[in-house]
Structure 1
């Protein structure tokens, strides 16, 4: 008789675990709280589905910060090129963008997901939507379904319940308490790759909400990130913001913290100062800055937003290169791209099996790690899901009657 596996959570980590388990010959059922799988994966595809990154291996691993060494064995086993090869085997070729980011040629998530689900169906994986994981009870997973509570027994379990960001898409972190009771403690779930909260003046907020600040650089705590920012009603979002949001989150006090914004990172302060010494003539101040310093309207407004305007060209150039902004905190989990925190690494062994619960494996974002945008998060979720699936299959076979 086939050994049975219950995979709980149908995001990239759960789907990866289910695929590996089925390929190993187990009878696999995939449980998902939502009406359909991979909701957040599909949402990520709206922006082009950045699957992974093509930079050199040492740089890639370094992006995982404090947890890089823990994640390295899993990424060694299934890294960026492995993910691209896997996509190609599903008929979804990828390409490397100018920034090194890797995308499907379709630039969408839905064709890849459809091909993946067809493969899982051919392998015999059964999908059970609208199964909301609630607890473990005497070795069985208990789900809430439209028909009421439903206990599920299996030879092995793989938990891939996600973090807590964008909870309306399925992952809301409500697994923390029941898993703690089962001997799987977690560190607090916190927003990662999230916006910064800044109290704009009503005039600036109402006029520039939704407008971009292109080709700028943010500086905080000795770290710098270049890219684009977008003004929101509550502060700033965008790639450059997300790159520093973790450091800001961990350092921000009740009184807030200061960051600086370089509106012209490609120009030196001396060059700007020289240009700003030119006669202004009858031009308005805004027109002068637009023509000489090539600042956008929201950039010019930020100079005013940050305090009284400097009087000399030299001081104005210095302000353009380092606009001071006061950050009150980071946006919450409901808007964060990903989650920091999760199941403690000390609670699982080197094969991702719970030390307190033999046969229970943990994968994906619900473990205690975080990664920046750029394909790093998705690659690690695939890698961790496959690793948990392989380990669970080996465990089931070793314990065959």
Structure 2
């Protein structure tokens, strides 16, 4: 019998396995998909954002109401620790102009290979295509290619992920296996549906740059993308929680100019120029920004300045949850003790995105997954020392 079972082969689960095995305990990692780290690898395709270099309190604030619970974990394994950990796996690190921290290779695959090499050296056993189906009296059951398998570990760390990107293994099916109350899942860091007029088709795939997005109390200066399905990209993800909660989205298309300056420039003689050319000449308003104005604000008012500074966006709600980068909801912190052990299941810990917290993209998601995985792993080691 293995000392420890880790269910889930994503960053939180692998970190828990690393901590437990480094303490000298035998570990089995059970992963439902044919290989580990699939969502991790997908995230790295656009550049693996490990964490963000900024003051700790500002970093912590990104987790909003979950910040108090995550504080000790992020304090113990935060931004600098993530950098050191990646460098310890042979990955050279750099910090971009926005403060985002990446491996120089920009991919997840070299880091994951090195990590799996470390785990293999620590005698961690990885079982793939093992789908967890339930637990009863300390026995964890799995559907496997060899039939039903049952394990009775001394401790278990659940790191089953959220409920987005089912094809990569994060499908939320663990809710039925756990059979414990959880907060309902909701999409996070997601795009929003827009039923575009035909004239927008030529702008599909175009990034909208130098814009400020405002939803509720959130204001962020970032770019986003016009897609055939709606609005996507970093700027939209940053305000997606406020939008999901019902706050209207408004776009400041000219964040470097005041409303008075915009009005002054628009008052310049137009002559025979079309409105489009006039906007381009006096405001340098790009074609895609003009298209958004025509899409969301026709008929146009006589005074365009307020509109260009706060363009109201009409949308049909979030894209499906399975398309979201992450999810809110999951195991509430109230169901866990300070070591992330389930109060109703002694010896069983939970970590990663299956916990009820959310954060924006930009390194926050991965850092918290690693930090909670490490924390749960340490809790499991402490539990083993008492057995």
TM-score, length-normalised on structure 2?
0.97
Report the counterpart of residue 217 of structure 2 in structure 1. Answer: 222
Give the deviation of 1:200 after TM superposition.
2.1
Distance 2:58 2:356 in 1: 21
1:140 maps to 139
The residue number in structure 1 matching 2:297 is: 307
The offset of 1:3, in angstroms, is: 5.9
Equivalents in 1 of 2:2, 2:224: separation in Å? Answer: 50
Q: Is the 8 A contact 1:54 1:80 kept in 2?
A: yes
Alpha-carbon separation, structure 2, partners of 1:250 and 1:124: 46
- Conserved? CA contact 1:286–1:300, under 8 Å: yes
Residue equivalent to 1:247 = 242
Q: Deviations over 1:37-56 (max 9, x none)?
A: 10011111111111001100
Partner of 1:388: 376
Matches within 5 A, 1:1-400: 4-180=3-179, 184-204=180-200, 206-251=201-246, 258-312=248-302, 315-399=303-387
The answer to whether the 8 A contact 2:296-2:311 is kept is yes
**SS of aligned partner of 2:90:** coil
SS of the residue corresponding to residue 334 of structure 1 reads helix
Please give the alpha-carbon distance, in whole angstroms, between the structure 2 residues aligned to 1:250 and 1:219: 13
Shift of residue 202 of structure 1?
A: 3.1
Shift of 1:320: 0.9
Contact 2:91/2:111 (<8 A) preserved: yes
* 4+ residue runs over 4 A deviation: none
Displacement of 1:59 in angstroms is: 0.3
8 Å CA contact 2:297–2:311 kept in 1: the answer is no
Shift of 1:348: 1.1
User: What runs of 5+ residues in structure 1 fail to find an aligned partner?
Assistant: 252-256
1:55-99 deviations in whole A, cap 9, x for unaligned? 001101111000100000111111110111111111112111111
- Aligned to 1:396, the other structure's residue is in SS state helix
Counterpart Cα distance in 2 of 1:128 and 1:157: 15
Do the aligned partners of 2:193 and 2:318 also contact (CA within 8 Å) in 1?
yes
Q: Quick one: distance in 1 between partners of 2:116 and 2:174?
A: 25
1:247 CA drift (Å) = 1.4
Contact 2:194 2:316 in 1 (8 A): yes
Task: Note the alpha carbon deviations across 1:201-223, whole angstroms, 9 max, x for none.
Answer: 2332x232211111111111132
Give the equivalent residue in structure 2 for 1:254: none
Displacement after TM superposition at 1:264 (Å): 1.0
Deviations 1:125-161 (A, max 9, x none): 0111111111112311111112222112211111000
Residue 178 of structure 1, CA deviation: 2.4
Is the 8 Å Cα contact of residues 191 and 324 (structure 2) preserved in structure 1?
Answer: yes
Contact 1:3 1:396 in 2 (8 A): no
Q: Considering only aligned residues, what root-mean-square deviation do their CA atoms show, in Å?
A: 1.4
Aligned residue pairs, count: 387
| Normalised TM-score (structure 1) | 0.94
